[in-house]
Amino acid sequence: MKRAIVVTTLLLAGCGGGGGDTPEKDPQPAPRGGDPAPHLEALQRIADRNDGVRAAGSDGDRETVDYIVKTLRAAGLRVTTQPVRFPYFERRAPARLGDLKPEKEVRLAEYSGSGRIRALVRRLPRGGCSAGDFAALRRGEIALVKRGPCFFRVKAANAQRAGAAAVVVSDTYGRTPVAATLIRPGVRIPVLIVTRAAGRRIAGGRVAVDVDATSEERTTTNVIAETKPAERWVMAGGHHDSVTAGPGLNDNGSGVAALLALAQRLRDRPGLRFGFWGAEELALYGSRRYVRSLGSAERDALEAYLNFDMLGSPNGRVYVYDRDDRIERTLRDAIRGREDEVSLEGASDHAPFERAGIPVGGIFTGASERGRRRGPADPCYHRRCDALDNVDRALLARMTDAAERGVLDLIRARR
């Protein structure tokens, strides 16, 4: 995700579903090691075997989880997995409604059902917010209703129960149709939004509707690993999923590789926990699921949560999260060089922890915002070219070392 970025420059002097069912396709990871590069290469191989993606709920996602679990267990950590349900929507082609222009005159609602039909468009006098609004509709017709005053999902559910083949909502407020969501899967019929003028043109006529989309619930997996127990814990984490557009080797294969390397290096340190979160790219589903599962005593025992997301950006600049002052100072000292301060607000997996009252921090090396001198920090951000060659391996290695120093300093200073 990584949006809403606010940067303040600071110049410091340098000083001093889980994994059991997927067949193993990579050699068993070595118990020790600590180099992030082999993990990054393994994630690229996983993407290559799965149409170039590791997105939540995909085969590439399941292989990624399998690799993470095997690596952590080989390092001797106690590993648990946690299923994460999330709503999935994919539009495979532009929605068609008669001769209306896609996006300019007609737009598909998120979580719409699919279908290909040709039917009469029945204009209804009300907004479709109650079952009675569809009294004049005949089964198999397309219902045309006005926008407002209830949720789009309510209109769609009422139309579906009334036997509509599709529902079209006339947007009375704008020159282009509003971007609408049905909130979650469950509506089976096509739901389209049109401009007021377009609604007038199709009313009373027979038109073709063609919607090719997937709207369903899917499952991904969180992976949690622990060293020997202690009264208080330091936790480090990052998301393991990519976007559907590409393999996500910087975002966030780099964070996964760093975390696995840290787990191998710090396996003997008590009170250290690692989290690998699913479906971050969709709405932080994995980290939110994990934090919700914690009891009050478990939350209180978390001394700090550190988020590692995009640690090898090409043209990268090093940032520390502007959240908890103590953690921020620790990470700045650990980086041993020049870094900036970044406010990612709720745009990555630290946000659910912070909302639960857990101190948070993290390291980040830049997404699509522009650096002062070097152009886009990551021109492949959320694109298919976010592959192995897109990762600055030297920067990733440096950030992994800095993350190790920061984690160790927080463990030593544990209250």
The letter for the amino acid at 42 is A
Using CA of residue 100, residue 102, residue 105, residue 106, what is the dihedral sign? positive
- Give the active site residue among 105, 226, 280, 328: 280
Q: Angle at Cα 332 formed by Cα 326 and Cα 334, nearest 5°?
A: 105
Decide: helix, strand or coil at residue 7.
Answer: strand
Task: Give the span between the Cα atoms of 17 and 296, in whole angstroms.
Answer: 26
**Unique residue bearing structure tokens 């299923």:** 83
Does 280 participate in catalysis according to the annotation?
yes
Q: Are 4 and 347 in contact, with CB atoms under 8 Å apart?
A: yes
- Reply yes or no: is the peptide bond before residue 252 cis, omega within 30 of 0: yes
For the chain, the distance separating the N- and C-terminal CA atoms, rounded to the nearest angstrom, is 33
* Residue-by-residue DSSP string for 282-305: HHSHHHHHHHHH--HHHHHHEEEE
Helix (H, G, I), strand (E, B) or coil at 400: helix
Report phi then psi at 206, rounded to 5.
Answer: -95, 125
Please identify every residue annotated as catalytic: 280
